[in-house]
Amino acid sequence: MIIGFVMIVVLAVGVVANAAKVFVYRRSLASWADGAAIAAAQSVAEDVVYAGETVEVLPISATGARQVVDDYVERNRLADRFEDMRVAVGIDPAAATVTVEFGVRVPLVLSGDAAGVPVSAAATATAPLE
């Protein structure tokens, strides 16, 4: 009976450790996605602005935003911090959305999945004119 109780306690501690690690990585990814989205939202599509159109939010350049996000990832060494990290940039005329995905390797692996627990975070930013 004591052996069974010890096994349950060990598994419970392992599950809590796994959940805590995934939670911390998720918060970290959300923070990095926020920063990248804000940087991308500042990539103004100058051709639209200088064409004389009246706009309420700054139009975002798709190529400029992707380049800014790539620079942001490189400058902050995110590829070193998060192995096999994937970054996607979505642009509509007035908003930039950055999605970051990563597989968190957890201390207690029950399913035999060596790739880790998939964690993702997305952030959207605009640059309103006020």
Number of H helices, E strands in the chain: 4, 3
Residue indicated by tokens 């990814």: 29
Most confidently modeled range among 95-99, 103-107, 109-113: 95-99
For residues 86-106, average pLDDT:
88
Considering only CA atoms, which of 81, 82, 85 is closest in space to residue 101?
85
101 and 118 in contact (C-beta within 8 Å)?
A: yes
Tally of CB atoms within 10 A around 87? 20
**Residue-averaged pLDDT of the chain:** 85
What local confidence, expressed as pLDDT, does residue 62 receive?
87
Q: Number of folded domains in the chain?
A: 1
Segment (H or E) for 27: helix 2-41
Domain extent at residue 79 = 2-126
What local confidence, expressed as pLDDT, does residue 87 receive?
92
* Full-model pTM: 0.78
Residue indicated by tokens 């598994």: 11
Per-residue pLDDT band for 59 (boundaries 50, 70, 90) equals confident
Amino acid at 111: S
